[in-house]
Amino acid sequence: MTSENQATTAASSQASTAPRTGQGQAAEFDAIIVGAGFSGLYMLHSLRELGLSVRVLERGGGVGGTWYWNRYPGARCDSESVYYMFSDHMSREILDEWNWSERYAAQPEILRYLEFVTDKMDLRRDIQFNAKVTAAAYDAGRNRWDVGLADGSTLSARFLVTAVGCLSATNTPKFPGVDTFAGDSYHTGAWPHEGADLAGKRVAIIGTGATAVQAVPEIAKQAAHVWVFQRTPNYDIPGRNKPLQADYAAKVKADYPDLWQKARLSGFGLPYEVEERSAVDFSPEERQPIFEAAWAKGGFYMGLETFSDYLVNKDSNDTVSEFIRGKIREMVKDPATGEMLAPKDHPFFTKRPPLENGYYEAFNRDNVTLLDARAVPIEEITPRGVRTAEDEYEVDAIVYATGFDAMTGTLFGMGITGRDGLRLQDKWADGPQTYLGLTTRGFPNLFVITGPQSPSVMSNMPVAIEQNVEWIAGLIQYMRAHDLDVAEPAQEAEDNWVEHHNQVAAATLLPETDSWWMGANIPGKPRTLYPYVGGVGPFRVICQEVAEKGYEGLMLTPG
Ligand code: N01
């Protein structure tokens, strides 16, 4: 832990919102929130506004969540910075005051932003750092959640809100010999705070997802040689990162009221101009300039502002997929490497398309070698490096950019137990069962922010998070106003939501592709689409209607 983090921890140990504690009893709160990233910070602010006593439990030594842990070289957001922040719903003042330096902010700047928000909103005093939740059990008799920490202490609360992020449980494949490597091993999602010295080193990077696409160009600049082990190539779109122009930033600030509203009602939480049209209704000559314009603009415009049916129409998707393959072949000098980097086994956007800033160019360097880990899989990790069926690559460091046990990994790791001892992982053994992705039957007063079956990762995250948090806070406010103590979805409401979620998923091309969105990256994980793909705006409307009907679908009862 850094000295800065130690200081933070000491300061935070004095929580301000006075818990009710008797001798030998657990500290009692109205609400416990797990996680101090974007979600946990806004949830804390919202519940404090309602006058609740709240404790945030954060396993890290500081705020930031994703941005606290993911400190690998090149880490930055893939949503444009001006939309990757809290809206005026958190604070108009912060929105006005904060200025981003780049089109896509890098990790240190996003972390600084979250620390700024934390201090500005005076949130730190209710956050307990280095507090890893190991158990959370619902006691129906007391209508309370008892929460146990790794240090043996316990706390309890009426409401338990998980704000643990979608990508917080790292996944390191169980290669034989993984623990025998004599050099340095790093997972991008748990990067050392003091950094990793890769200068002049021989480095193996395993994985080619959005993380590796950011890390490879930066590591290649320092390392003696980099071997990239690619199992599946992706459709990487140019990010075209650049310093943020002051006049552009000023215009966005002036337009924020409209832009946020547009983002909230959009498909993916971004205020882009989406034209309802299919690529197949245009001739190749008509499509080309549309593709070229989006390619030149950079960012998710390629997926969101060209044609609107890529996820439901394979023929339409084929046109954009072929366009991107052509661009990749153009950018990479060695034709064989370019061909290896061109994805052919899945349609565009059925895996999360990474944004690249120098990824393809990195393969034009003499010190970067692409290896086909699909054709020649990694067989084992040895004390010297990585061994495939054909060769052993002797390296000084291995970087695992191998992703996460997304969306359920961290939740299951917290030991959540509901009514009658029901464990969350048992209830969801065949896949998540939720009502709106926010609640699940058998777990009264448990609320999940950006959980499975809500838009979550299918959205620019802050927009999805604000909607989730405001809905949960609205429900708690409603319960207090009506002297209701217990909220739990009715079986029928939950069944209907799961069915709707599955129907929407089945109407898309997404289930065909092996992706972490489908749970396919973790052996044994139920294969289902984890995020809700019906759109951020439509989801918001559904949730609003539920609230307007007195939280229809939830059984709300006095304690
Ligand atoms: O993880 P991934 P990630 N042998 O799961 C490979 C978000 N994000 O950390 O595709 C060999 O996408 C695996 O291969 P394959 C974003 O939502 C956001 O890169 O399964 N290879 C794949 O190439 C993103 O989608 C930002 O065949 C193995 C890679 O490891 C999500 O995080 C920035 C393997 C894992 O890719 C996750 O991205 C970065 C094996 N045994 C990331 N096992 C922002 O913008 C796995 N792989 C904020």
Rounded to two decimals, what is the model's pTM? 0.95
Task: Report whether residue 402 contacts ligand 1, using a CB cutoff of 6 Å.
Answer: yes
Half-sphere exposure of 258 (CA within 13 A, CB side): 6
Report the alpha-carbon distance of residue 156 to residue 149 in Å, rounded. Answer: 11
Among protein residues, the one with the nearest Cα to ligand 1's atom 22 is: 207
Residue 18 burial by CB count (10 A; 0-12/13-18/19+): exposed, middle or buried? exposed
> Is residue 204 lining ligand 1, measured as CB closer than 6 Å?
no
Mutate to test the pocket of ligand 1, among 205, 206, 211, 352 (most ligand atoms within 8 A of CB): 211
For the chain, helix (H) and strand (E) counts, in that order, are 17, 20
Nearest-atom number in ligand 1 for the CA of 514 is 20
Q: Distance between CA 411 and CA 163 in Å, rounded? A: 10
207 CB within 6 A, ligand 1: yes
Residue 43 sits at φ, ψ, to 5 deg, of: -65, -40
φ, ψ (nearest 5 deg) of residue 121:
-90, 5
Q: Is the CB of 169 under 6 A from ligand 1?
A: no
Q: Is 388 in the pocket of ligand 1 (CB under 6 A)?
A: no
Going by CA atoms, what residue is nearest to atom 16 of ligand 1?
Answer: 210
CA–CA gap between residue 38 and residue 330 (Å, rounded)? 39
C-alpha–C-alpha distance, residues 131 and 150, integer Å: 7
Instruction: Output the six-digit token pair for 479.
Output: 């319960």
Between CA 357 and CA 155 the distance in angstroms is 45
Calpha distance 80→440 (Å, rounded): 33
- For atom 28 of ligand 1, the residue with the nearest CA is 207
Residues facing 161 on adjacent strands: 33, 447
Reading the chain (559 residues) residue by residue, the pLDDT tens digits are: 233 333 333 333 334 455 555 445 569 999 999 999 999 999 999 999 999 999 999 999 999 999 999 999 999 999 999 999 999 999 999 999 999 999 999 999 999 999 999 999 999 999 999 999 999 999 999 999 999 999 999 999 999 999 999 999 999 999 999 999 999 999 999 999 999 999 999 999 999 999 999 999 999 999 999 999 999 999 999 999 999 999 999 999 999 999 999 999 999 999 998 889 999 999 999 999 999 999 999 999 999 999 999 999 999 999 999 999 999 999 999 999 999 999 999 999 999 999 999 999 999 999 999 999 999 999 999 999 999 999 999 999 999 999 999 999 999 999 999 999 999 999 999 999 999 999 999 999 999 999 999 999 999 999 999 999 999 999 999 999 999 999 999 999 999 999 999 999 999 999 999 999 999 999 999 999 999 999 999 999 999 999 999 999 999 999 7
